[in-house]
Chain A
């Protein structure tokens, strides 16, 4: 069983690593010779990024509290400090999402753009809702996202086909302005038409130009069994 290293007289077992005490009962070992540890000494190092985010969160709260107080004391026409609060909140969420381990960068991009749009809609709401966030920012975000997909496909040329599901998702997203239009929340449709057209054409272009590789990707993604 290899060479005898140390012995625990309480447990009556051998200890093969370099411990000073028995790992089972914490009794001091009867040491015969020094041994080699099978594991490195791993102590959890405080994650610097986590610390950075927590420092940011605290700093943001301090800044927002100060601005809110200042805004309240000098109030004239608007609660502008709330807008700053929304921006600070978005930066906080963006940092959390960006450094979150489990999410893929595509998921992160979708989350960041969606939360960004929601924050802008919130700013629009807080400033009397003139509809500019839904009329222009929402469809512009879709156009921006589509452009991001094209860029990503060129950068990751070996797996360009793997962006097709996001293309489909963006088509669904492009339908949202039309639903909002039906609900009377979105009134100017020009940019939304461009966004939907861009999304549909991007997907069609990928299928047509991509050929078999694109159709195989769809088969894989939609296989039922």
Chain B
């Protein structure tokens, strides 16, 4: 009898769903996001990972429960990607949260939009680590970090009932739910193309087996880096980009002149510049350029060139130009009415050209701060960025609790640039600790 009743109830629910005329929430993609579904593939997933490493082993059931509780509160993550005639768009997903799985594959692999219950992110765990992997179409690092923080808080509340008693199952007041397209709201007027598109020096070499990715995390004390960068008259970010550039220059250009510039793409978080708290993508990419016009540049000379290059570009005026240029294309009526399939071809062509204009990318998530009541449970934080066409080695930075984590992802067999990079910091007086995913052990 109870079985019959439950079947009846199930049928009633199905009927309700059929007649439910409620509006399905939907949203447009932000200005940057349009490109990601077009270029995403098995070799260029456009997925990034942010991990929180706790001081205790993860209980998978609790993590799943935490995800099921947090996800409905994050409208921006509770979506699936749909394809319209002219544009992609997000539509409310509404299915149960995706299954939390134990990490069993290389990081940042492609998120196929119709798998994983059509969610555009995945959550996995390994021992003490919680991984959030996000398809870039959803959000940039800032938006995803807010989601990961809330997921971690909820998980800790479920595992430690005293935290739950003290704080309840509500989101933190610091968490933004804003989903505006800050590109559109800050667009002023059409600007000239602010990007360089000629081909940069590309890092090449024997590759790992298909689908394999080498991950190397380097941990450095923020205080030591601050002292060092202050003594050199640069910011930590400029120092990181310069050491990376110098490592490529030494390893691949062998300190001789080359007609192709080493260009490092640096995504800049625009929220601070334009007073935005959006959880959608809101960043612009500038490129630090070092052109080895002669032989034997010293590290100090490279540092000065990189510093000048970044400072010339990371200005409110230039960032506004980039935003305006990007938005002006989207606002072009002719482009708007082109069918998506044609837009895809154009976007793919433009991307191919632009991707080869940079040697590599260094992304910086900045300093991650967890609420003080949860911080004692959290050991460290790191991130991983997926590789893209022409860029066989990339870096991503974040810091937590006074430790900066610099993560290289690479599909090259030899970690030669990584070795030069970390050894340079040791030479400059910074203590370095590394951790890998085992790819370089054999």
Do A and B bind?
yes
User: Which residues of chain B are within 8 angstroms of A222 by Cβ–Cβ distance?
Assistant: 84-86
User: Which residues of chain A are within 8 angstroms of B126 by Cβ–Cβ distance?
Assistant: 38-40
Q: In the bound complex, do residue B24 and residue A1 qualify as a contact, i.e. CB atoms below 8 Å apart?
A: no
Residue A41, interface by CB 8 Å? yes
Segment of B61-69, B99-107, B228-236, B251-259 in the binding face: B99-107
Which residue on B lies nearest to A168, using beta carbons?
Answer: B85
Q: Which of A1-39 contact B (CB under 8 A)?
A: 1-2, 11-17, 19-26, 36-39
Q: In the bound complex, do residue B86 and residue A223 qualify as a contact, i.e. CB atoms below 8 Å apart?
A: yes
User: Which residues of chain B are within 8 angstroms of A2 by Cβ–Cβ distance?
Assistant: 219, 379-380, 433
Q: In the bound complex, do residue B433 and residue A1 qualify as a contact, i.e. CB atoms below 8 Å apart?
A: yes
Q: In the bound complex, do residue B432 and residue A14 qualify as a contact, i.e. CB atoms below 8 Å apart?
A: yes
B 78-108 binary contact with A (CB < 8 Å = 1; else 0): 0000111111010100100000001111100
The complex places the Cα of A42 from the Cα of B436 at a distance, in Å, of 12
Interface of A is mostly: loop
**Given A102-B41, A223-B87; A42-B437 close (CB under 8 Å):** yes
Residue A212, interface by CB 8 Å? yes
User: Which residues of chain A are within 8 angstroms of B104 by Cβ–Cβ distance?
Assistant: 40, 42
Q: In the bound complex, do residue B82 and residue A44 qualify as a contact, i.e. CB atoms below 8 Å apart?
A: no
Residue B59, interface by CB 8 Å? no
Q: In the bound complex, do residue A40 and residue B94 qualify as a contact, i.e. CB atoms below 8 Å apart?
A: no
Residue A104, interface by CB 8 Å? yes
Residue A157, interface by CB 8 Å? yes
Q: In the bound complex, do residue B82 and residue A104 qualify as a contact, i.e. CB atoms below 8 Å apart?
A: no
The complex places the Cα of A102 from the Cα of B110 at a distance, in Å, of 9
**Given A11-B423, A216-B24; A101-B84 close (CB under 8 Å):** no
User: Which residues of chain B are within 8 angstroms of A44 by Cβ–Cβ distance?
Assistant: 209-212
Name the distance in Å between A65's Cβ and chain B's nearest Cβ.
30
User: Which residues of chain A are within 8 angstroms of B437 by Cβ–Cβ distance?
Assistant: 38-39, 42
**Given A102-B112, A158-B17, A220-B26; A19-B85 close (CB under 8 Å):** no
- Name the contact of B21 in the complex, choosing from A17, A157, A213, A221 (C-beta under 8 A): A213
The complex places the Cα of A57 from the Cα of B397 at a distance, in Å, of 46
Which residue on A lies nearest to B216, using beta carbons?
Answer: A23
Residue A184, interface by CB 8 Å? no
Q: In the bound complex, do residue A23 and residue B423 qualify as a contact, i.e. CB atoms below 8 Å apart?
A: no
The complex places the Cα of A89 from the Cα of B403 at a distance, in Å, of 58
User: Which residues of chain A are within 8 angstroms of B86 by Cβ–Cβ distance?
Assistant: 222-225
Task: Please provide the 9 A-B residue pairs with the shortest distance between their CB atoms, ordered closest to farther.
Answer: A14-B433, A23-B436, A39-B437, A23-B440, A24-B419, A16-B435, A221-B84, A104-B114, A13-B432
Q: Which residues of A contact B (CB under 8 A)?
A: 1-2, 11-17, 19-26, 36-42, 44, 101-102, 104-105, 157-158, 160-162, 165, 211-213, 216-217, 220-225
13 A-B pairs with CB atoms under 8 Å apart are A12-B432, A15-B434, A15-B435, A24-B418, A39-B436, A157-B18, A160-B18, A216-B23, A221-B84, A223-B89, A224-B86, A224-B87, A225-B28
